Structures are given as C-alpha cells and as structure tokens.
Amino acid sequence: MDLSTSRLRADRESGTRERIRVLMLEDQPADTELMVRELRVAGFDPAWERVDSEAEYRSRLGDAIDVVLADHGLMRFNSLRALRVLREQSPDVPFIVVSGALDAATTAALLRAGATACVPKTTLGGLGAVVARALDQRGRRAVDAASPAPISPTTAQVASAPQLGEGMTAETQRWESEFVAAMSHEMRTPLHVIVGYNELLLRESYGTLTREQRAALERVGRSARQLVNLIDATLDMCRFEVGREPLDVSLVELSPLVDELRAETEDLALRPHVSCEWRIAPGMPMLRTDRVKLKVILKNLVTNALKFTHEGVVRIDVNPSASGVTCTVSDTGVGISPEDLAVIFEPFQQAGDAGARGRGGVGLGLYIVHSFVQLLGGSIDVTSRCGEGSTFRVWLPLAVRRDAPPLSSSSAADAPA
C-alpha cells in the first residue's frame, strides 16, 4: 500500500475531509460534476472552479491552487498549452489531464511535457487516488527542498526525472514509442487489404455496381485512406521519439513528383469555389534527397491548405534558390492566429477556426512537416493573417547530408527560425 492509499484510508476512517483548491479546465459541466463527486468519494472537500477558455484559465492561475484538472480536447485551448502556461507560473502545482480523447501517443507527449498524470474519463473511479498521490509527492518535494542534502551524480539524475512526467523515464518513453510503432505497423497490413479489395470492387472486378453501391464504396475508400495516413503519421512520430527516422537518399526529379502530388490531391481540390494552381519553374535542378519525405512535406502542406480554404485559391510554387529549391504553398483560407502560430509545428496542435477538429486529423501533419524539413537539412517559415490565408515556405538544399544526425523529439518541436 502506498502513502496516498494510506492517506485516503486514514481520512475515511477519521471522518475528516481534506480541503483542496481545484481549478478545472473543462467545457462540459456534467463531467465537472462527476470529477467533483469522485474527489468527495475519495475523502476530499474540493473548493473548485471551472473554466473553459485560455483567458479565464490565465486569470485564475494567480489564485492559490492545489491541483489543476484539465480536459485535453478543448477546441481552441488544449491541455498541452495549458500545461506550459501553468509551468511558467507555478512549476510545482500538479497538472492532471482528465479526458476522453487520450490515446497512447497523446499521453506520452503530455507526460514528457511535464503532466503529473493522465486519467481517462472512462476510469474516473481512480481520480481520487491519483490526486492524493500527486499532492503527497508535492508535499515530499517541499520537505526535501526545505532540507537540502548533498547531491551526488546519481541524485542529480533522479532529480531531473520529473521533467519526463510522473513515472516516465527515458527508457519508458522509448519502450512506449516502440510499442505504439509496432501496433501501428500491424494495423497497416489489414488496412491495405481493405483498400486493395475496395479498389477491386470499384473497378467492378466482382460485378457491376449500382450508383448507390459505388458511392458507398468511395466513402469506405476515403475513410480507409485517412486511417492509413493517420497510422503513417503515428509511425513517423514514434520514429522521431526514439531517434530512428532513416534517410533514403537518391536523385530526385521534381516535375514527376509534382505530377504525382497533383493527381493524389485532385479529389480534395474538386470543390466549388476553390481552385488549385501548380507552378514549377522550368529547368529545375535535381535534388539529392529523400524522395518519400519530400513528398510527405509537400502533400501535408497542400492538404492542409485545401482543408482550410472555403473559397479562393491554393497555389503551389516550386522555384530554384541559392544552393537549393524553395517550395511555397499559399492559400486564401481562414488563416492562423498569432497564438496558434507560436505552436503550429508542435504535435497535437490544430490551428484554424473553431471547426478545425471537425475537419479530421489529430494535429500531427505540420509537426511531421517541420521534422522532415529539419531532417533533410532545410528550413520552413510561415506567415498568416486570420481571414486572409497562410503561406508556408520550405527551403531544401540541393544535397542532403548522408550523415545527418538523428532527430530528437525536442528539436522537432522547436519553432522554425
């Protein structure tokens, strides 16, 4: 039995309740009531307040708070950003993510960023014990800080562990990333079988289709391809986390690559009031780079631009530049706010208007773009104005270094220069 379990049992037996001050970042009042109830069941007397916006959250952080309980999936202010704001002002306050939108990759990212713990909303019965353990650990750290002891190298290493989150060591992080990668890889095989048979059905290899059957199969195909793309993104992210993203360098001709991208994004571009213009300068030099990663960079940028453009134009320009090439993707879409620009290349961030999450994806596309650009020795910058559109510019060298250092998760998340 750990100390937090003993603490809860002692409170229940004595009939006393520990008064705690709780700030809840949550947009669902019903979920807030459930969390408050679980805290009371666990023996706490919570003085709580619910906020659901960044402005309200920031204004309450000046108050004395014992613990923050945060939902991850708020539309414009997720728990990763809320955690950073808290750590800037109150590094020792426990930050517990309580969400129904927690997968393995999201949980790992939150713990590495310094979250105390993550609790799925489907298992709220354990919330009280998690809060008690977090408060106990905070109390022990306060006692240790008041009575400093000589720090040996081993102690110094242990002292730095909370930066990876409660119980999240570098070895744990590596195994977690490898597990997610293995599971994602196993999911790809049956998905590719589904996509393959779906295409055979659409070609009427097994008989003539009615219009309704064709429409249904086309929806199945689109959904399956979206899931394949999501799994590919998860695999890429996991390889970044463990520093195993390989480079497959070869000579790359840009014109055929652009033609492939034009064909693959044609369905997205076939919408009323939106046009897609591809312009590649004549006489483009060959690149010695990783063709697959270059294609992912451009495809993610073009897909994003089309996703957030309701009317107007998306332009893709490829031009030679000093010692390399510049690829520019611009649109007349919804644009990106200054707040979102600051975190646009971090994982699990979705910029745009309030309907961003309704357009699909989990916020890994631009993170992967930025990571691949770094891996290929290039740079990326973005300019945007809300309501007017965005422009992403990628510069890549004529030749990537074959001995490029492995990409770390921290460098991948840094904003571009």
Q: How far apart are CA 323 and CA 141, in angstroms?
A: 53
pLDDT of residue 96: 93
Are the C-beta atoms of residues 165 and 116 closer than 8 Å to each other? Answer: yes
CATH number of 3-160: 3.40.50.2300
pLDDT at 134 exceeding the cut of 80: yes
- Kindly report, residue by residue over 76-94, the tens digit of the pLDDT: 778 888 888 898 888 889 9
**Joined tokens for residue 193:** 């079988």
Digit-coded pLDDT (tens) for 260-277: 888 888 877 677 888 899
For the chain, domain boundaries: 3-160, 173-241, 249-413
pLDDT tens sequence across 189-234: 677 778 888 888 998 988 999 999 998 998 888 778 777 766 776 6
Write the DSSP string, 358-405. GG---S-HHHHHHHHHHHTT-EEEEEEETTTEEEEEEEEESB--TTPP
- Residue 18, strand partner residues: 44
Q: What's residue 242's pLDDT?
A: 54
Q: What is the pLDDT of residue 25?
A: 92
Q: How confident is the model at residue 315 (pLDDT cuts 50, 70, 90)?
A: very high
DSSP H or E run through 344 = none
Mean residue pLDDT of the chain comes to 77
Distances 230 to 163, 259, 361, 363 between C-alpha atoms, Å: 28, 23, 7, 10
Q: Do domains 3-160 and 249-413 have the same CATH topology?
A: no
Q: Flag whether the pTM goes above 0.75.
A: no
| Least confident residue range of 54-63, 99-108, 350-359 | 350-359
Find all residues with CB under 8 Å of 80, minimum gap 6, and list them.
Answer: 72, 109, 110, 113, 346, 348, 349
249-413: what fold? Heat Shock Protein 90 (3.30.565)
- The rounded percent of the chain whose pLDDT value lies above 90 is 26
